[in-house]
Amino acid sequence: QVQLVESGGGLVQPGGSLRLSCQVSGFVLEPHTVAWFRQAPGNWREGVACIRESDGEVLYSDSAKGRFTISWDKAANTIDLQMSTLNPGDSNIYYCAAGLADPISLDEEEYVVWGLGTQVTVSS
């Protein structure tokens, strides 16, 4: 069974850091691209970062550039999102998604397998 399971969410103070992890399992072949999205209740889903399995090419949203880093640990089968300098606007449910986007893209329609999400709350 193809699965993506997110972990690492929680409560963090403004200016703090958090590392999210997406465990990938059940794929016959490695997914082509894995991305992190986020969504607050009542808001549209925003692509944050994505990474291509074959060459490690990455793409970030403007809000993530310089603060977030996506990486693929092939030995552990996880795709991590290191987030720093967090602010209350980063409070969202963060989702991991896998797809075949080529070229890589933060368009959610390019992603076909989704995790259930992990909550990130930035608050003092």
Residue 27 confidence (pLDDT): 76
Residue 102 confidence (pLDDT): 79
pLDDT less than 70: residues of the chain: 28-30
Contact 46, 62 (CB under 8 A): no
User: Which residues lie closer than 8 Å to 55 by C-beta, 6 or more apart?
Assistant: none
Residue 30 confidence (pLDDT): 66
Contact 93, 48 (CB under 8 A): no
R_g of the chain, CA atoms, integer Å: 13
